[in-house]
């Protein structure tokens, strides 16, 4: 693809019916930098031995998924991130690109493999030293050592800093003593804990000579052939709302001893004299550094949610292009579902969102690879990665649930049949919204970063910057309060819907509206929270809590902007031609749906007139949806969904066959 960087260049005008999207060319573009890696992972997932059996009882499902892990290990698709000294590929970005495809086989398999290699193995790799790598990673990679990632506790889920499990150093025996002090400190919802895990990376408060050095990780053996080792116990979480191929369970420890060398000590060590040391002096910074090395879990969930959204859109749109319902007036033919405007409204904007997520994941993956490959492993890049992952993980997981559900409903009863996968996919992905960081908590982290960046603009007291900002804000406030902007817009808009939409149709106008919303919300929050710096901690916390909803709303607006920008940047790189024009319409649809969704904000803040807001809705319904309607099959075919990956009869010609039989019968009946 040749780079086209000027997104402000007026596009060549096309008639939708004259265009033809090239699915093969577009598919290559969508698969991005890791096209061959993704295709190889899909080829592994396409084998029948890897497929989820819908409705399979939990015990059999667990054993099937555990057997599939061995096939993944043998294929090498899950080893790309590990060090070359143990046979890994040292390709962190490629590893995530491969891993995210496994959701097409079975989401339980994807998450269980994520537990084994993306959490358990990654913790040993990122938190341990080369000695730990050589000792344990070969067995982890081959599945000789099935493992668990024991961080979350019943009493503290997202609040990892407050976990209660302790690891106390015993100088006399040169060991750490792992202990669970109460029921709330049990490690809970731990994959591989109920049955298969032979070892775990256990997170605990590290106590040395009576001093607590904060949360650290230790390698702890769990089981042998006879079951739990002495001092270790636990429960099976049993049936869940989805992902029942994973043996989630609970673990507790009663004075379990492990050698001092089992401390994964890249960021904190204890020597044989009982002296603690760390390359990171600040306890708080050390904690966030330890957690930051494990950000790949969030990055992989963004990718998996995107792939699942592609699958759901493929099933729903293919069905809607074949299923007929209700006669066309004056004809014996029935309408195809996708010819109904409301059906288009349900599915095409969600297809646009799926495309936007594909491009956003590619941006996230590139940053992840730069940091973890060492190409750009700086503190600033790590913070950017953590913030971007915290913004996109809620966006992608909530969007996936919305996209799957909308397509399920659009397929009616057929969508509810297990064989057509949508109902099961929705159930399996439900928990994506709360693990690897609860979405609401993550958005608060994003908001705090936005506020921090905002505050840093004035950290040096640059009078020029401050004066310019104040002037801008005063100007905006004066215009908005007086209603002059709205009045002027109403005059311009009066009597011409076409003219009205013309003022906001460009890329620059969409960017301005989306960016302005984020900037205004953050500025308003900063002003509201300004007194917190002079208040006692308790009152400051109360003030923050009083604005918690606004914090989350601002972070969500930021996430929407980031995703739109990713789509726009990808569009700028696509070669000019018919496919690019269709992508431009798809991007415009995505942007206008976002603006329409928040039109109350734009109206209340004087950014849009009522007439222009109405014009946006009309433009979506009467221009963009009809333009995109002829290209839907090509747009989902570009996801490269082979039959072995889709596996939903209604998306593989079953409905088309029924319709052909019905029409043949009705045609013969009319002749008689």
* DSSP structure string for 486-550: HHHHHHHHTT-HHHHHHTT-SHHHHHHHHHHHHHHHHHHHHHHHGGGGGS-HHHHHHHHHHTHHH
175-179 and 256-259 beta bridge pairing? antiparallel
Q: Which of 40-49, 330-339, 441-450, 529-538 has the highest mean pLDDT?
A: 40-49
What does the pLDDT read at residue 302?
97
Range 181-185 average pLDDT = 97
Confidence at residue 242, expressed as pLDDT on a 0 to 100 scale: 97
CB-CB contact of 595 with 510 (8 Å): yes
- Which of the pair, 454 or 628, is modelled with greater confidence? 628
Beta strands in 111-270 (DSSP E): 147-150, 166-170, 175-179, 187-190, 199-208, 211-221, 223-224, 227-228, 232-236, 249-253, 256-259, 269-270
Among residues 231, 258, 281, which one ends one of the domains?
281
| Same-domain check for residues 460 and 597 | yes
- Nearest CA among 118, 97, 104 for reference residue 52: 104
Please check whether residue 2 lies inside any domain of the structure. no
User: Residues 571-590: what's their mean pLDDT?
Assistant: 96
486 shares its domain with 617: yes
Q: Confidence band (pLDDT; 50, 70, 90) for 14?
A: low
Does one domain contain both 223 and 255?
A: yes
Of residues 348, 353, 335, the one with CA closest to residue 629: 348
For residue 662, the model assigns a pLDDT of: 84
Say whether both 298 and 277 belong to one domain: no
Give domain status of residue 667, yes or no: no
Q: Which of 272, 55, 85 is nearest to 173 (CA)?
A: 272
Higher pLDDT: 273 or 661? It is 273
Domain-embedded: residue 225:
yes
What is the end-to-end Cα distance of the chain in Å, rounded? 57
Query: For residue 514, how many other CB atoms are within 10 A of its CB?
Result: 22
**pLDDT for the residue 289:** 87
pLDDT for 659 equals 87
Residue 648 belongs to some domain of the structure? no
Residues 349 and 327 in one domain: yes
At residue 478, the pLDDT reads 37
**Stronger pLDDT, 187 or 332, i.e. the higher one:** 187
Tell me which of 365, 399, 433 is where a domain ends.
433
Q: What is the pLDDT of residues 219-258, one digit of tens each?
A: 999 999 999 999 999 999 999 999 999 999 999 999 999 9
Characterize the bridge pairing of strands 166-170 and 199-208: parallel
pLDDT of 15 reads: 61
Q: Assess contact for 264 and 128: CB atoms under 8 A.
A: yes
Per-residue tokens: 380: 């600033």
pLDDT tens-place string over residues 250-297: 999 999 999 999 999 999 999 999 999 999 988 888 998 888 877 999
State pLDDT tens for residues 596-625. 999 999 999 988 889 899 999 999 999 999
Q: What pLDDT sits at residue 8? A: 40
Question: What's the confidence (pLDDT) of residue 480?
Answer: 41
Residue 650 resides in a domain: no
Whether residues 179 and 236 fall in one domain:
yes
Mean pLDDT of the chain: 90
Domain assignment of residue 75, yes or no:
yes
107 assigned to some structural domain: yes
Q: What is the pLDDT of residue 490?
A: 46
| Domain end (from 381, 399, 433) | 433
Q: How confident is the model at residue 375 (pLDDT cuts 50, 70, 90)?
A: very high
- pTM comes to 0.91
What is the C-alpha to C-alpha distance for residues 190 and 286, in angstroms, rounded to an integer?
Answer: 24
What confidence score (pLDDT) does residue 18 get?
Answer: 74
For residues 23-42, average pLDDT: 96
- Residue 59, in any domain of the structure: yes
Let me know whether 277 and 299 are in one domain: no
Q: Binning pLDDT at 50, 70 and 90, where does residue 530 land?
A: confident
Q: Are residues 305 and 275 in the same domain?
A: no
**Residue owning tokens 């953590």:** 386
Q: How many domains does the chain have?
A: 3
What residue numbers bound the domain in which 160 lies? Answer: 149-281
Q: What is the pLDDT of residue 670?
A: 54
Percent of the chain with pLDDT over 70: 90
Q: Are residues 168 and 46 in the same domain?
A: no
For 300-331, write each residue's pLDDT tens digit: 999 999 999 999 999 999 999 999 888 888 77
Give the CATH number for residue 594. Answer: 1.20.140.10
CA 90 – CA 372 distance, rounded (Å)? 9
Whole-number pLDDT of residue 186: 97
308 and 234 fall within a common domain: no
Contact between residue 378 and residue 396 where contact means Cβ atoms under 8 Å apart? no
- Of residues 25 and 497, the one with the higher pLDDT is 25
Query: Per residue in 479-488, pLDDT tens?
Result: 343 333 444 4
Assess whether pLDDT exceeds 70 at residue 568: yes
Largest Cα span, the chain: 98
- Do residue 465 and residue 564 come from a single domain? yes
Q: For residues 551-562, give the mean pLDDT.
A: 95
Mean pLDDT of 122-148: 97
Let me know whether 468 and 614 are in one domain: yes
Chain centre to alpha carbon of residue 22: 28
Q: What is the mean pLDDT of residues 188-214?
A: 97
pLDDT at 94 over 80: yes
**Domain harbouring 188, CATH code:** 2.40.110.10
Count of residues for the chain? 672
What is the model's pLDDT at position 462?
47
């Amino acid at each position: 693809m040749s780079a086209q960087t000027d997104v402000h260049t007026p596009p060549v005008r096309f008639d939708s019916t004259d265009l033809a999207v090239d699915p093969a060319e577009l598919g290559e573009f969508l698969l991005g930098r890791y096209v061959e890696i993704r295709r190889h992972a899909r080829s592994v997932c396409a084998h029948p031995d890897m497929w989820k059996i819908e409705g399979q009882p939990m015990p059999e499902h667990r054993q099937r998924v555990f057997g599939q892990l061995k096939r993944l290990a043998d294929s090498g698709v899950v080893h790309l991130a590990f060090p070359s000294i143990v046979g890994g590929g040292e390709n962190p970005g490629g590893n995530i690109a491969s891993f995210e495809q496994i959701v097409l086989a079975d989401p339980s398999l994807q998450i269980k493999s994520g537990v084994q290699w993306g959490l358990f193995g990654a913790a040993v790799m990122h938190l341990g030293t080369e000695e730990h790598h050589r000792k344990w990673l070969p067995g982890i990679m081959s599945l000789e050592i099935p493992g668990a990632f024991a961080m979350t506790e019943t009493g503290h889920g997202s609040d990892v800093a407050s976990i209660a499990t302790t690891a106390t150093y015993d100088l006399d025996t040169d060991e750490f003593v792992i202990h669970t002090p109460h029921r709330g400190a049990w490690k809970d919802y731990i994959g591989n804990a109920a049955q298969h895990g032979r070892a775990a990376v256990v997170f605990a408060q590290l106590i040395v000579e009576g001093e607590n050095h904060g949360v650290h990780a230790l390698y702890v053996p769990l089981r042998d052939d006879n079951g739990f080792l002495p001092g270790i116990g636990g429960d099976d979480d049993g049936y869940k709302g989805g992902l029942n191929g994973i043996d989630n369970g609970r673990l507790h420890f009663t004075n379990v001893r492990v050698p001092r060398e089992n401390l994964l000590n890249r960021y904190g060590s204890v020597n044989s004299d009982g002296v603690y040391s760390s390359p990171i002096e600040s306890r708080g910074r050390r904690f966030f550094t330890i957690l930051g090395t494990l950000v790949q879990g969030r990055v992989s969930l963004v990718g998996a949610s995107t792939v699942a959204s592609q699958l759901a859109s493929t099933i729903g749109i293919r069905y809607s292009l074949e299923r007929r319902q209700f006669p066309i007036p004056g004809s014996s033919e029935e309408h195809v579902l996708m010819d109904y405007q409301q059906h288009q409204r349900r599915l095409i904007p969600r297809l646009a969102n799926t495309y936007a997520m594909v491009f956003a994941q590619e941006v996230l993956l590139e940053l992840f690879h730069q940091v973890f490959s060492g190409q750009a492993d700086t503190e600033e890049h790590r913070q950017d990665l953590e913030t971007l992952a915290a913004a996109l993980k809620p966006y992608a997981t909530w969007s996936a649930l919305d996209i799957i559900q909308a397509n399920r409903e659009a397929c009616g009863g057929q969508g509810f049949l297990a064989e057509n996968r949508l109902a099961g996919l929705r159930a399996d992905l439900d928990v994506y919204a709360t693990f690897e960081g609860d979405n609401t908590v993550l958005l608060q982290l994003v908001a705090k970063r936005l506020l921090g960046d905002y505050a840093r603009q004035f950290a040096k007291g640059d009078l020029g910057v401050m004066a310019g900002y104040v002037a801008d804000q005063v100007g905006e406030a004066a215009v908005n309060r007086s209603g002059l902007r709205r009045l002027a817009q109403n005059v311009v808009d009066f009597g011409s819907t076409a003219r009205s939409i013309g003022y906001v149709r460009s890329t620059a106008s969409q960017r301005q509206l989306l960016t302005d919303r984020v900037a205004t919300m953050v500025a308003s929050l900063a002003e509201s929270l300004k007194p917190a710096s002079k208040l006692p901690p308790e009152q400051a916390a109360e003030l923050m809590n009083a604005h918690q909803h606004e914090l989350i709303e601002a972070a969500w607006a930021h996430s929407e902007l980031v995703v739109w920008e990713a789509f726009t940047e990808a569009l700028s790189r696509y070669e000019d031609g018919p496919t690019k024009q269709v992508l431009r319409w798809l991007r415009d649809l995505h942007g206008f749906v976002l603006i329409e969704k928040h039109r109350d904000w734009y109206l209340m803040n004087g950014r849009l007139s009522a007439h222009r807001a109405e014009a946006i809705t009309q433009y979506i319904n009467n221009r963009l949806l009809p333009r995109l309607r002829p290209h839907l099959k090509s747009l989902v075919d570009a996801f490269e969904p082979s039959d072995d990956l889709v596996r939903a009869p209604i998306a593989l010609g079953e409905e088309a066959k029924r319709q052909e039989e019905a029409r043949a019968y009705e045609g013969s009946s009319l002749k008689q």
